[in-house]
Chain A
Amino acid sequence: MLAITLIPVLGGLICLALKGRRKALLSVVILTVIVTGALLPFILFQESQINIGEWGDIGIRLEMDPLAVPFILSVFIVILATTLNSVKRNYGHLFYSLILILYGTLNAIFLSRDLFNIFVTVELASIISYIMISYEKRARQAWASLKYLMISSLGLSIYLLGIALVYMETGSFALEGLAHVSTVSSVLIFGGLAVKSGLFMFSMWLPDAHSSAPVEVSAILSGLIVKMNVYFAVRFAVFDSFSWITEAYVVIGVGSAILGVIFAISTNDAKKLLAYHTVSQVGFMIVACDMTSAWYAFSHAVFKSLLFLVVGNISARLKTKNYKKWSRKLDRTEYLFLLIGSLAISGFPLTSGAVTKEIIIHGAGFPWLKVLLLFAATGTAISFSKFVFLKPSKHFSRLPLSTLLAYVVLSVTIIIHGLIGFEMYMLESLLSIGAGIVLYFLLKKHIRPLSPYLERFDNALSAYLLLFVISMVFALFRSSVLPY
């Protein structure tokens, strides 16, 4: 089980030595990813546990259990597609070694089972993502990455404060200790992890960071790094001290889903549209805090990386991110994969998006929750109609083999997942898609970009702190520490 963490890191270190030789570099990278993926069937379906150093309660624990399966699978598929897509661009050896080390770290995050190990692996993945966002050393990327760095590190410092309180009350950093701690430390832990989650007011650094990053890095960020909070939320929700978190996440999730879609409908920039949709989809995922969120995280990672790779390649070729200038210039092959991705995210039946989205909508507890989630789904269909109704040009071009392979891997996963989980009630999603298309044609003339006021640094930081204080007050009310 340690092998899926250590083999990619070893591959990354070998890549650092291969400075000029492209063919050796690329073969080492793809070989490492495939070898690690080949080990997955032996690891994923057995529950095993390692206690490093045999130090008992105070040691480092790694453990495999069914909750981590969709996340580790999504890591493998997204990183395979991303490295295949990056073959045709001129990245140096540092980029590939960072991607491989990030792969090993992401596996370690989903396997770690004690509070301090979570902190170390999450910070390591974050530092690698700060470097990779500004890999091309442009000032826009540096500013987006600096905002992300400061807000996210502040959040993780709050997480460290929370686990200091857990240590003072229970004497160890083990996860079982969370069952008897006070609510204050559970709010601090929640607030610390929520900053990386992509929910609406908690992480307003997300639109700038995900849209300025290079193509492959956006796919990895939106697909994998925002899922860490979903994983930990599902894992921590079973403890008593976190019992307020399922209600808080219903409100926060529905708010993110609707507000993210409103910002996405009104923007002109294709990559920002996808970044706002990440905000909305994470809100959708976190409404139901259980195993269905985990499978939604898997399917979201796959179709969001397909969309980011296609949109990134198109905008690199046409030199513009404004999707209104793309009509009649898209090749038919690119349009086909863009269509598959857009149908998946809107929840068209027979794609994986429909399977996971309809399970969450169907399983929603309250009737008003179902109505609000259907609004968010209709809004998703409105904004992706912008891509679907662009006119492609007349010819099929030949994409390079590696890029085509990357798209095919992701599309096949979407379709197979959609076919395996198909049930009759999923045809309801056709209603929301139809309503979305009609509303798109009605609203087309009135769409105007909204002001990026909340994405400035001071405002993003203040929004995060304000919502953190509000959730602290809510949690203390719910666990009856303060009198009503």
Chain B
Amino acid sequence: MIGSPVVYFSIAGMLAGVLGMIFARNIIKKILAFGIVETSINLIYVGVSSRSGIIPPIIRDGVSLTAYADPIPQAVIITGIIISFALLCLALVFAVIIQNHYHTMDVNTIETSYEREESC
């Protein structure tokens, strides 16, 4: 199918991150696994944008036109990195608010307390 091994590595990274998000019991570990997913997405865009060359897209003499990296997906990655940074900060703020109220970081304890508060 797709030739470049970078794509397969990034899909493997996403799978690892998703499994971490489901099976981790601590909220901070879930947030770290979420960071792994976002980093794998950035990896696939790096792979897409460096077609075969590693030369930055600034015109220089004596280099053929196809050896430059592609600048368009790099714009996608930069926006993606900023968005995932903002989401990570927000998730950590929510974790602090939850810790102050429930005094635990364990997901099962939080969910049982949440459902008990709701039913009364």
Interface residues of A (CB under 8 A from B): 58, 116, 119-120, 123, 127, 130-131, 134, 137-140, 142-143, 145-146, 149-150, 153-154, 157, 160-161, 164, 167-168, 172-173, 269, 449, 452, 456-458, 461-462, 465
Given contacts A161-B14, A461-B21, contact A153 B97 (CB under 8 A): no
Chain B 95-112 against A: per-residue CB contact (8 Å), 1 yes, 0 no? 101101110000100110
By the criterion CB–CB under 8 Å, are A164 and B117 in contact? no
Given contacts A139-B100, A161-B44, contact A154 B21 (CB under 8 A): yes
A/B pair count, beta carbons within 8 Å: 98
Would you list the 6 A-B pairs with minimal beta carbon distance, nearest first?
A: A139-B101, A142-B97, A146-B94, A142-B94, A157-B41, A123-B83
- Beyond the given A150-B34, A457-B107, could you list 18 further A-B residue pairs with CB under 8 A, ordered by the A residue number? A116-B79, A119-B79, A127-B83, A127-B86, A131-B90, A146-B27, A146-B98, A157-B41, A160-B80, A161-B14, A164-B44, A167-B73, A173-B72, A452-B118, A457-B30, A458-B23, A462-B22, A465-B22
Interface status of B18 (Cβ within 8 A of chain A)? yes
CB-CB under 8 A from A140, the residues of chain B are 114, 117-118
Number of interface residues of B (CB under 8 A): 44
B110 to chain A, nearest CB (A): 6
A116 vs B45: C-alpha distance when bound (angstroms): 13
CB-CB under 8 A from B95, the residues of chain A are 146
A selection of 17 A-B contacts at a CB cut-off of 8 Å is A120-B83, A123-B83, A127-B90, A134-B97, A146-B27, A153-B84, A160-B41, A160-B45, A160-B76, A164-B45, A164-B48, A164-B73, A167-B73, A168-B48, A452-B115, A458-B107, A465-B18
Interface status of B2 (Cβ within 8 A of chain A)? yes
By the criterion CB–CB under 8 Å, are A142 and B98 in contact? yes
CB-CB under 8 A from A172, the residues of chain B are 72
A142 vs B30: C-alpha distance when bound (angstroms): 15
A165 to B, closest residue via Cβ? B2
By the criterion CB–CB under 8 Å, are B37 and A157 in contact? yes
Interface residues of B (CB under 8 A from A): 2, 11, 14, 18, 21-23, 27, 30-31, 34, 37-38, 41, 44-45, 48, 72-73, 75-76, 79-80, 83-84, 86-87, 90-91, 94-95, 97-98, 100-102, 107, 110-111, 114-115, 117-119
CB-CB under 8 A from A116, the residues of chain B are 75-76, 79
Given contacts A164-B45, A164-B48, contact A120 B107 (CB under 8 A): no
CB-CB under 8 A from A120, the residues of chain B are 79, 83
A146 vs B80: C-alpha distance when bound (angstroms): 19
CB-CB under 8 A from B11, the residues of chain A are 161
By the criterion CB–CB under 8 Å, are B97 and A137 in contact? yes
CB-CB under 8 A from A58, the residues of chain B are 72
CB-CB under 8 A from B80, the residues of chain A are 160
A161 vs B48: C-alpha distance when bound (angstroms): 11
Q: Select which of A130, A160, A462, A465 is within 8 A of B90 by beta carbon.
A: A130
